[in-house]
Amino acid sequence: MWIQTTIGFFSIVQKPEDVAGDTLTIRARSREHLEALKLAYLQESGPIQVGGATDYPYRLVADRMAVEDAVSMAVAAIDYSNFKDAVAENDPNAAAIYGKVWAQLRGLTDDEGLSH
C-alpha cells in the first residue's frame, strides 16, 4: 500500500519475515519521513533500518495493529481542505513531487469521470 500524507510518503508491505510476528514493514525513500511517522504515530516500533540496496533505503518494522492504529490516527488528524496545499506548508519539495504523482494518476480517470 502506498500512502502519501502531510508528513511523508510510505510503502507498507508484509514481507515474508513479517508473517510469524504479525508485523508490517513500512518503507520510505526519506529518513525524515519515516522519523516523522515514528514520532507522530509509531513510537513503540523498532529502530529505523538503513540500507539494503533497494529503492526504499529506510525501513521500519511495526506490529500490524500499531500500523492500523497509526493510519487511523493520520486520518483522524486531517484538518485541511486541500491536501497538496497542506503538504506545501511544511515541505514544498514534497508537494511538487506529490503534484507530479497526482497528475500521472489522472490517467486512471474513467470516461464517466471526465469533464466534457
9-36 pLDDT tens trace: 999 999 999 999 999 999 999 999 999 9
26 located within any domain = yes
Residues 47-65: what's their mean pLDDT? 92
> Is residue 76 situated within a structural domain?
no
Residue 17 sits in which domain range? Answer: 2-65+81-110
Describe the crossing of helices 31-41 and 64-76 by its angle, rounded to 10 degrees. 90
The stretch 47-54 carries a mean pLDDT of 87
For residue 55, is it within any domain? yes
Q: What grid cell was written down for 30? A: 526519506
Instruction: Reply yes or no on whether the pLDDT at 102 is more than 60.
Output: yes
Asked whether residue 72 is domain-assigned, the answer is no
| Mean pLDDT along residues 27-49 | 94
> Would 29 be classed as within a structural domain?
yes
Q: Is the per-residue pLDDT at 116 higher than 70?
A: no
Does 74 map to a domain? no
How many CB atoms sit inside 10 A of residue 82's CB? 8
How many domains does one find in the chain? 1
With respect to residue 75, please indicate whether it lies within any of the assigned structural domains.
Answer: no
Q: What is the pLDDT of residue 98?
A: 93
Query: Stretch 101-116: mean pLDDT, rounded?
Result: 80
- From residue 102, how far is each of 3, 27, 83 by CA, in Å? 13, 20, 11
Position 8 in a domain:
yes
Q: Is 109 left (phi over 0), alpha (psi -120 to 50) or beta?
A: beta
